[in-house]
C-alpha cells in the first residue's frame, strides 16, 4: 500500500481531515436562493490547508448539476483568462456561437460572420454571463495564493459590478493574511472589505488522534502522543504521518511512539525547509523578536514578553494582533500566548 500521507502542497491527501462545518457553510450559502455573500476569503499561515480546502469545495460543487467551476492564476490577466476559459467550455461554446458573440478582437475564439464584435473584455464577460444565467448555470471562480497586483484589482472591480447586476457568479480566494489584508484595504475595492474572511487554524486534535490510531493500528496513548507533536497544524499532521509510515515499513517491530522519537530530527528538518524558513523570512524584525520570546514557554504571559522586550501595552498589542491574524501565535487564555507552529522553538534556536 502506498504511503497515505503526503508532504507536497496543494494536492488532497488520502488521509485528509476535512473542516466540514466551514466547507458546508460556504457550499450551502452558494446554493441558497439568496446567498449572504457571493465571495469568501480563506486566510491562514502557510501549510494550514487553504489550497486543499479550496480544492475540496471546488470538487464538491463541480459534481453538482448546474455548476461551472474554474481556477484562475492570480499572476495572469484574470479578466482575460476568465473570458477565454468561459468561452472555451464545451457545453457553452456552441451557445455563444449561436448567439453570434464574436470575441475575435479580444483574441478569443474565431471571427463569426455577421457576429456581434465585442472589443471590451468586461462587456464580453457580461454577454456570456447573460447566456449562462439563462441556462441556469452558476459559476464558481477560485483564486489560490492571492497576490496584490493590477490584475487582481481589475478583476475584483469587475466582479463587484457583475454581482451588483445579479449574475450568479461566485468566488473563493485564498491567501496569506498580509496579501488578503492589503487587498481588502484597497480603497477602490470596498466590497472586498465586507467579504467574509475565514481564518483557518488548527485541525481537531481528536480527529488527528483517531486518524493516526486507525491508520497505524496504534494504541490510543501513542496516537495522542503523535497528535500532540503536530499541535493540530495540518502540514505537520501530514509530515509526521508520512515519516512514521515510511519508518514503520522498514522497522515493523517498533511501536508508533518509538518511531516518532526516531524520526523527530527529520520531522523538524522538513517543517523548517518547507515552511518555517519562508514564514520566518516574511516576518518583520520585531515580529521575530516576539515569536522568539514566545517560544521560550509552551504558554507565556503577555506581560512576560513585554517585560523582556521592553514594549509598552499599545505597541505590543499591534504586533500581537498581527501575529495572531497571521496564524503564527494563538491566544491560550486571558493574557497568555503560545506559538501555533509545532516545534517552532527548535527552528528559532538556530535563527535568532
- List per-residue pLDDT tens for the chain, 352 residues long: 789 999 887 666 677 787 888 999 999 999 999 999 999 999 999 999 999 999 999 999 999 999 999 999 999 999 999 999 999 999 999 999 999 999 999 999 878 887 889 999 999 999 999 999 999 999 999 999 998 899 999 999 999 999 999 999 999 999 999 999 888 887 777 778 789 999 998 999 999 999 999 999 999 999 999 999 999 999 999 999 999 999 988 888 888 889 999 999 999 999 999 999 999 999 999 999 999 999 999 999 999 999 999 999 999 999 999 999 999 999 988 899 999 999 999 999 877 6
Q: How far apart are CA 7 and CA 274, in angstroms?
A: 9
Task: Answer yes or no: do 211 and 182 share one domain.
Answer: no
End-of-domain residue from the set 257, 280, 303: 280
In a domain, 233, yes or no: yes
Task: Answer yes or no: do 218 and 240 share one domain.
Answer: yes
Write down the pTM of the prediction.
0.90
Q: How far apart are CA 125 and CA 165, in angstroms?
A: 12
Task: Answer yes or no: do 193 and 264 share one domain.
Answer: no
Task: Answer yes or no: do 44 and 147 share one domain.
Answer: yes
Helix axes 220-230, 256-271, angle to 10 degrees: 10
Please say whether the beta carbons of 141 and 171 come within 8 A: yes
Task: Answer yes or no: do 187 and 108 share one domain.
Answer: yes
End-to-end CA distance of the chain: 42
What the block records as the C-alpha cell of 324 is 495572531
**3-state SS class at 29:** helix
In a domain, 134, yes or no: yes
End-of-domain residue from the set 141, 173, 199: 199
Task: Answer yes or no: do 188 and 73 share one domain.
Answer: yes
In a domain, 118, yes or no: yes
Please give the tally of structural domains in the chain.
3
In a domain, 260, yes or no: yes
- Domain containing 300 equals 284-351
End-of-domain residue from the set 280, 298, 314: 280
Amino acid at each position: 500500500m502506498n504511503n497515505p500521507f503526503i508532504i507536497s502542497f496543494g494536492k488532497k491527501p488520502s488521509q485528509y481531515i476535512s473542516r466540514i462545518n466551514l466547507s458546508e457553510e460556504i457550499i450551502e450559502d452558494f446554493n441558497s436562493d439568496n446567498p449572504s455573500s457571493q465571495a469568501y476569503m480563506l486566510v491562514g499561515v502557510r501549510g494550514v490547508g487553504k489550497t486543499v480546502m479550496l480544492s475540496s469545495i471546488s470538487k464538491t460543487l463541480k459534481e453538482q448539476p448546474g455548476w461551472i467551476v474554474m481556477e484562475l492564476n492570480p499572476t495572469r490577466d484574470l479578466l482575460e483568462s476568465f473570458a477565454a476559459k468561459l468561452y472555451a467550455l464545451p457545453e457553452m461554446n456552441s451557445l455563444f456561437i449561436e448567439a453570434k458573440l464574436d470575441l475575435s478582437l479580444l483574441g478569443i475564439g474565431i471571427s463569426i460572420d455577421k457576429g456581434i464584435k465585442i472589443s471590451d473584455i468586461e462587456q464580453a464577460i457580461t454577454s456570456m454571463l447573460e447566456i449562462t444565467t439563462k441556462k441556469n448555470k452558476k459559476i464558481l471562480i477560485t483564486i489560490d495564493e492571492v497576490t496584490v497586483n493590477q490584475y487582481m484589482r481589475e478583476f475584483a472591480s469587475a466582479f463587484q459590478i457583475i454581482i451588483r447586476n445579479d449574475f450568479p457568479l461566485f468566488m473563493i480566494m485564498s491567501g496569506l493574511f498580509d496579501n488578503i489584508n492589503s487587498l481588502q484595504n484597497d480603497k477602490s475595492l470596498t466590497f472586498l472589505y465586507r467579504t467574509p474572511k475565514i481564518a483557518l487554524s488548527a485541525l481537531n486534535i481528536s480527529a488527528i488522534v483517531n486518524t493516526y490510531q486507525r491508520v497505524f493500528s496504534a494504541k490510543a496513548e501513542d496516537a495522542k502522543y503523535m497528535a500532540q507533536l503536530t499541535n493540530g497544524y495540518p502540514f505537520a499532521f501530514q509530515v509526521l504521518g508520512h515519516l512514521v509510515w515510511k519508518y514503520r515499513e522498514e522497522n515493523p517491530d517498533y511501536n508508533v511512539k518509538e518511531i516518532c522519537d526516531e524520526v523527530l530530527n527529520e520531522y523538524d528538518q522538513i517543517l523548517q525547509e518547507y515552511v518555517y524558513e519562508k514564514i520566518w523570512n516574511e516576518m518583520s524584525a520585531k515580529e521575530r523578536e516576539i515569536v522568539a520570546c514566545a517560544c521560550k514557554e509552551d504558554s507565556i504571559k503577555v506581560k512576560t514578553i513585554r517585560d523582556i522586550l521592553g514594549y509598552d501595552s499599545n505597541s505590543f498589542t499591534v504586533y500581537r494582533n498581527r501575529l495572531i491574524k497571521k496564524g503564527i501565535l494563538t491566544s491560550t487564555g486571558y493574557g497568555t500566548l503560545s506559538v501555533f507552529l509545532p516545534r517552532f522553538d527548535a527552528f528559532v534556536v538556530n535563527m535568532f
